[in-house]
C-alpha cells in the first residue's frame, strides 16, 4: 500500500490551485511540511511544476476531497492501487546519476581500504563502476590517484547503508577462516608429561658415574702401602 502520492509536490500544486483544503490537510496527504505547502501557495516554491490531478491518477477519491473541504480536521486517505507491479531485480551495474559520477572513485577508494574483503563484483553493485577502474584505484594507477580522497559511499548517496551492510555480511560469510599462527591444542601426552630438570635448573654440574671396582682397588693399594 502506497502511503505517499507518486509525485507529492505536483499533487500539492493541484490541490492548492483546485480545492479549498487547508495547508495542513494537503501537507498530511502529500507528506510535506505545512510551511512548504504555504510556500507553494505563495508562489515561493515548486515554481515550474505542473499540477497533477490525484483523482484522475486514481490516488484520491472525489468524495474524500469534498469531505475534507467540509471538515478542516479531516485527513484524506490515499486510495489503494488495485494494480500490483512486480518488483524487478536490477541486472548489471547500478545506474549512477551524472552529478554523482565524479564521486565514485573516492567511494571505491573508501571501500577498498575499509572493506578489502569485498569482491570487485560487490563494489560494482554498490557504486556502479567497472572492474578496470577498481583495479586502477587499488593499484594506484588511476589517472587521478593523487587527488582521490576516500569517502563513504553511503554519505555520498551512491548506495544505502542497508545495501552496504548486506554486501559486507556476504563477504564475511564467504571469507575463509584464518587460524592464528602458533595457536594449537596440546595433546594429552604433552600436558601430562613431567619435564626433566636440566643441569642449569639444579644449580650444579652432573656428578660423573662411579665405578665400584675401581674404588675398592684404590682402597686396597692404600692399605698395602700403609703396612709397608
Same domain, 65 and 103: no
- pLDDT, residue 50, reads 85
Number of domains within the chain = 2
DSSP 133-160: HHHHHHTT-STTGGG-----HHHHTSS-
Give, as one character, the DSSP assignment of residue 194: P
Is residue 186 included in any domain, yes or no? Answer: no
- pLDDT, residue 3, reads 72
Domain end (from 159, 174, 189): 174
Same domain, 57 and 115: no
Is residue 188 included in any domain, yes or no? Answer: no
Same domain, 103 and 166: yes
- pLDDT, residue 228, reads 52
- pLDDT, residue 62, reads 92
Say how far apart CA 60 and CA 82 lie, in whole Å: 13
User: With contact defined as beta carbons under 8 Å apart, do 227 and 221 qualify?
Assistant: no
Is residue 207 included in any domain, yes or no? Answer: no
Is residue 108 included in any domain, yes or no? Answer: yes
Domain hosting 15: range is 8-70
Distances (CA, A) of 116 to 112, 140, 157, 204: 5, 15, 21, 57
Domain end (from 174, 198, 214): 174
Say how far apart CA 39 and CA 45 lie, in whole Å: 5
Say how far apart CA 23 and CA 165 lie, in whole Å: 40
Is residue 80 included in any domain, yes or no? Answer: no
| Cα–chain center distance at 9 | 33
Q: What is the pTM of this model?
A: 0.40
Is residue 83 included in any domain, yes or no? Answer: no
Is residue 209 included in any domain, yes or no? Answer: no
Is residue 204 included in any domain, yes or no? Answer: no
* Other beta carbons less than 10 A from residue 66's beta carbon: 11
The C-alpha cell that represents 186 in the structure block: 596440546
SS (H, E, C) 30-80: HCCCHHHHHHHHHCCCCCCCCCCCCCCCCCCCHHHHHHHHHCCCCCCCCCC
Say how far apart CA 108 and CA 145 lie, in whole Å: 11
- pLDDT, residue 89, reads 54
- pLDDT, residue 159, reads 85
The C-alpha cell that represents 128 in the structure block: 556502479
Q: pLDDT of 31-88, one tens digit each? A: 889 998 998 988 888 777 888 899 988 889 999 999 999 999 999 998 876 555 454 4
Same domain, 170 and 105: yes
Same domain, 107 and 150: yes
Say how far apart CA 50 and CA 11 lie, in whole Å: 9
Mean pLDDT per 10-residue interval, the chain, length 228 residues: 76 92 93 90 82 88 93 90 53 55 87 91 89 91 89 86 88 66 55 57 55 65 58
Measure the CA angle with vertex 41, ends 38 and 45; round to 5°: 80
Amino acid at each position: 500500500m502506497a502511503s505517499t502520492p507518486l509525485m507529492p509536490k505536483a499533487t500539492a500544486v493541484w490541490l492548492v490551485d483546485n480545492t479549498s483544503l487547508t495547508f495542513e490537510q494537503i501537507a498530511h496527504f502529500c507528506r510535506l511540511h505545512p510551511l512548504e505547502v504555504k510556500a507553494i501557495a505563495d508562489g515561493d516554491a515548486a515554481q515550474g511544476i505542473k499540477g497533477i490531478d490525484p483523482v484522475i491518477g486514481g490516488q484520491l477519491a472525489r468524495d474524500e476531497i469534498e469531505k475534507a473541504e467540509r471538515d478542516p480536521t479531516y485527513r484524506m486517505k490515499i486510495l489503494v492501487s488495485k494494480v500490483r507491479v512486480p518488483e524487478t531485480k536490477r541486472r548489471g551495474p547500478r545506474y549512477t546519476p551524472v552529478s554523482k559520477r565524479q564521486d565514485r572513485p573516492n567511494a571505491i577508494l573508501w571501500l577498498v581500504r575499509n572493506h578489502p574483503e569485498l569482491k570487485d563484483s560487490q563494489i560494482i553493485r554498490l557504486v556502479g563502476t567497472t572492474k578496470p577502474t577498481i583495479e586502477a584505484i587499488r593499484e594506484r594507477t588511476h589517472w587521478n590517484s593523487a587527488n582521490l580522497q576516500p569517502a563513504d559511499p553511503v554519505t555520498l548517496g551512491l548506495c544505502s547503508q542497508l545495501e552496504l551492510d548486506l554486501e559486507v555480511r556476504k563477504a564475511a560469510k564467504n571469507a575463509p577462516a584464518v587460524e592464528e599462527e602458533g595457536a594449537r591444542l596440546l595433546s594429552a601426552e604433552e600436558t601430562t608429561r613431567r619435564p626433566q630438570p636440566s643441569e642449569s635448573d639444579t644449580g650444579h654440574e652432573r656428578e660423573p658415574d662411579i665405578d665400584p671396582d675401581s674404588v675398592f682397588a684404590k682402597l686396597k693399594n692404600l692399605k698395602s702401602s700403609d703396612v709397608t
